[in-house]
């Protein structure tokens, strides 16, 4: 009697499950549709991450790096949510499985097709999830490289090291906020016009135009300043310039000057450092700038300025 009763209960349960699978509020088809939606969302997250990876590879500014890190974190949160959604659907599907198995074993085509389709949908969603997480990791690696580039100790720093711009790829353009290293760490900064107004719209470009009087590559400085950090205070430095128009900026140890031609600062003391211009400096010419005295910080820039061979004075 007990056995028979149990049989009815089991049978009733089967009917109930069968009802819910094909007709109830949560059907296998609902699960299938939900899995499809989850997979599509994961795919769009992965696309967003692919875009993020490209941007991370080109990141040069701390602000951008932090923004990209925040975006990556947002995408990670979304992936966790989608993972939770996926597991939830998997659990609902798991409840249906015994009945689908039974119906499939009984030779019914539709439950078998559903069973296989749902298993496939889950596997595909997991594949996509794995690809998206891998992409998120790739963003992370690209950001690690960006930070290493940003904070690299200046290449070749040390005695006898000059900024020659020769190792920098020809045509590279740097904007305000960019940092690059060639012997010194060089930060691109806003420029102040003769009027006193400032601009952050300028750039510096690696060229080979032989306008500064050095050799190989030189830097064309167009309405930006360059902050030069040799990693230690200097006893002075010399640099070669070509100055073909507009005004110039120099700031030595925090002492800022805005002037027309290098000759204007010849013989002056700026930030406790003696300035001389032994060659050129009259505007529209090549020349040499010499700074003698302890330099802790140095910023220099112009409008149509070319720089090469920025060399610390040794000894």
List residues binding Ca ion (CB under 5 A): 164-166, 214, 216-217, 260-261, 283, 308
Cβ atoms 125, 39 nearer than 8 A: yes
Q: HSE on the CB side for 26, CA within 13 Å?
A: 13
Nearer to Ca ion, 251 or 308 (CB): 308
Nearer to Ca ion, 255 or 285 (CB): 285
- Whole-angstrom distance, CA of residue 313 vs CA of residue 225: 22
Nearer to Ca ion, 88 or 260 (CB): 260
Nearer to Ca ion, 128 or 240 (CB): 240
Q: Least separation, in Å, of the C-beta of 235 and Ca ion?
A: 22
Cβ atoms 69, 156 nearer than 8 A: no
- Whole-angstrom distance, CA of residue 65 vs CA of residue 278: 43
Nearer to Ca ion, 75 or 241 (CB): 241
Q: Least separation, in Å, of the C-beta of 284 and Ca ion?
A: 7
- Whole-angstrom distance, CA of residue 308 vs CA of residue 196: 27
Cβ atoms 136, 148 nearer than 8 A: no
Chain Cα centroid distance, residue 11: 61
Q: What are the DSSP E strand ranges found in the chain?
A: 173-175, 179-182, 184-189, 191-192, 198-199, 203-207, 218-222, 224-229, 234-243, 248-252, 255-259, 269-270, 273-279, 285-295, 298-302, 305-312
CB 193: neighbour CB atoms within 10 A? 14
Nearer to Ca ion, 22 or 244 (CB): 244
């Amino acid at each position: 009697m007990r056995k028979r009763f149990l049989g009815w209960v089991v049978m009733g349960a089967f009917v109930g499950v069968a009802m819910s699978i094909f007709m109830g509020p949560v059907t296998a088809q609902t699960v299938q549709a939900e899995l499809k939606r989850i997979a599509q969302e994961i795919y769009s997250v992965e696309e967003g991450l692919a875009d993020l990876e490209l941007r991370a590879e080109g990141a040069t500014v701390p602000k951008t790096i932090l923004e990209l890190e925040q975006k990556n974190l947002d995408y990670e949160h979304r992936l966790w949510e989608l993972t939770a959604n996926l597991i939830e659907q998997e659990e609902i599907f798991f409840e249906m499985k015994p009945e689908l198995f039974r119906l499939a074993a009984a030779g019914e085509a539709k439950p078998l097709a559903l069973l296989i389709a749902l298993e496939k949908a889950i596997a595909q969603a997991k594949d996509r999830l794995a690809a998206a997480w891998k992409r998120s990791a790739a963003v992370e690696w690209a950001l690690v490289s960006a930070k290493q580039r940003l904070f690299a100790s200046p290449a070749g720093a040390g005695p006898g090291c000059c900024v020659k711009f020769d190792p920098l790829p020809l045509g590279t353009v740097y904007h305000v906020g960019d940092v690059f290293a060639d012997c010194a760490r060089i930060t691109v900064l806003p420029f102040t016009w003769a009027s006193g107004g400032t601009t952050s719209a300028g750039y510096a470009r690696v060229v080979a135009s032989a306008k500064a009087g050095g050799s190989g590559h030189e830097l064309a400085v167009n309405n930006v300043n360059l902050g030069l950090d040799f990693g230690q205070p200097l006893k002075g430095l010399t640099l070669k310039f070509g100055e073909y128009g507009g005004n110039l900026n120099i700031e030595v140890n925090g002492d800022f000057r805005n002037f027309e031609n290098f000759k204007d600062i010849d013989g002056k003391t700026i930030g406790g450092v003696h300035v001389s211009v032994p060659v050129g400096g009259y505007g529209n010419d090549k020349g040499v700038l010499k700074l003698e005295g302890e330099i802790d910080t140095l910023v220099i820039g112009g409008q149509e300025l070319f720089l090469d061979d920025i060399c610390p004075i040794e000894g």
